[in-house]
């Protein structure tokens, strides 16, 4: 068992029942010309966590603990994109529009791909999700059951949108969730800080938070 010096108190992870879930580390959120930028965001903050996310992924691979990747994306015919999502706000490019990296947030387009540095290895689970949470309209829940996972470590973007939504969904389903605080990022530093604080408040009401070093120290001890 792997004791992690998390907040608000240590958590013991069972590497045989743990998975790393890397949320939406896609070009669309990290590079100019993608979905994140189309919403008016400065995407440069996202690229800065890539080396840390990579270290986390490689540590889990080395420890033989499964790594799951998610991607927020839609079918080319947009049949899984609610009009309310596509029409929200006044983005420079809407979901499905042609941008400099192909059609925004559409499965298979260059801009929708996971960043090269964090590319899934053959055999790793990749969950394509139409929502912010990874459980909605996907096979994520079944994949976790198949793996026998009960504890989930989270990384990726953005902290208060897809990461927090998925952690809340997982928490409600009985999973123990740990957020790698330096392997997640938001376009809004104050939202990242608030999400981390609210996740671990009230005795880990949504889950735990820990640094990548703390998590890997626990996992690697095994
Ligand atoms: N806009 C924003 O902060 N995030 C998203 O739209 N999706 C994810 O968080 N992946």
Number of Cβ within a 10 Å radius of residue 146 = 10
Query: How far, in Å, CA of 12 to CA of 71, rounded?
Result: 28
Residue 172 falls in the annotated catalytic set: no
Confidence category of residue 59, pLDDT binned at 50, 70, 90? very high
Residue 11: which of 20, 2, 19 has the closest Cα?
A: 2
Of 101, 98, 106, the C-alpha closest to 79 is 106
Q: Which atom of ligand 1 is nearest to the CA of 163?
A: 9
Residue nearest to atom 10 of ligand 1 (CA): 162
Spatial CA neighbour of 21 closest among 97, 127, 142: 127
pLDDT at 222 over 60: no
41, 46, 158: which to mutate for ligand 1, most atoms within 8 A of CB? Answer: 158
Query: Stretch 97-112: mean pLDDT, rounded?
Result: 98
Atom of ligand 1 nearest to the CA of 26: 10
Q: What is the pLDDT of residue 220?
A: 77
Atom of ligand 1 nearest to the CA of 41: 1
- Which stretches of 5-138 are DSSP H helices? 27-30, 35-38, 44-47, 50-63, 83-86
Q: 111: CA distance to ligand 1 center in Å?
A: 14
pLDDT of residue 221: 59
Q: Which residue has the tokens 């053959």?
A: 122
Report the pLDDT value the prediction gives residue 172, as an integer from 0 to 100.
98
For 85-96, what is the mean pLDDT?
Answer: 94
- Average of per-residue pLDDT across 146-154: 98
pTM of structure: 0.98
**95: which DSSP letter?**
T
């Amino acid at each position: 068992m792997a004791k992690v010096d998390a907040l608000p108190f240590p958590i013991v992870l069972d590497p045989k029942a743990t998975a790393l879930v890397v949320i939406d580390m896609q070009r669309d959120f990290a590079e100019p010309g993608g979905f994140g930028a189309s919403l008016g965001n400065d995407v440069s903050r996202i690229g800065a966590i890539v080396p840390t996310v990579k270290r986390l992924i490689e540590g889990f691979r080395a420890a033989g603990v499964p790594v799951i990747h998610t991607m927020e994306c839609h079918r080319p015919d947009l049949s899984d994109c609610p009009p309310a999502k596509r029409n929200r706000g006044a983005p420079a490019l809407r979901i499905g529009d042609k941008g400099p990296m192909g059609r925004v947030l559409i499965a298979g387009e260059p801009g929708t791909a996971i960043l090269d540095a964090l590319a899934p290895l053959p055999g790793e689970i990749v969950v394509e999700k139409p929502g912010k949470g990874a459980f909605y309209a996907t096979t994520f829940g079944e994949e976790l059951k198949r793996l026998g996972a009960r504890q989930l470590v989270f990384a990726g973007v953005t902290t208060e949108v897809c990461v927090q939504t998925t952690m809340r969904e997982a928490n409600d389903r009985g999973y123990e969730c740990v957020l790698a605080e330096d392997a997640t990022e938001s376009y809004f530093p104050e939202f990242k800080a608030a999400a981390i604080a609210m996740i671990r408040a009230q005795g880990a009401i949504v889950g735990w938070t820990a640094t990548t070093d703390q998590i890997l120290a626990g996992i690697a001890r095994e």
